[in-house]
Structure 1
């Protein structure tokens, strides 16, 4: 099951590029996996023209606008929690 999930995520990453267009049925089918984790915009939609960002810690996907806001506000929620505890690699 885990391998199937990883394959599906990799497939989504591959098609989340500006030069790849998908049909309406596939946009709907992969909507959950291809939507911004913060605002919910479907980044497979042809009207979305921004970059797609992936957090290297949790692998969540974010639209360009939300990713920019997170950077301006001091980062990602789980990263801030780790900083308060003294960092990710503290023992």
Structure 2
């Protein structure tokens, strides 16, 4: 491959990453301020835990609350421990 082709492919890749970051930030901002039904969230997360899908439980929590990864992981762990 020639250098211009390699550079063009790299530029497209960087552009796609930037677009993904911007869209993710917009989605998170849209969730802020939206009311959360805590009981529905709890049931959904516990259902994921019952399926032995801890990662999905964290994903559900993050989507619903906009929490960071560590915060969501700790919250889901807390739900799992309180259930036992």
TM-score (norm 1): 0.28
Higher relative contact order (CA 8 A, sep 6+): 2
- Look at both structures and tell me which one has the larger radius of gyration over its CA atoms: 2
TM-score (norm 2): 0.29
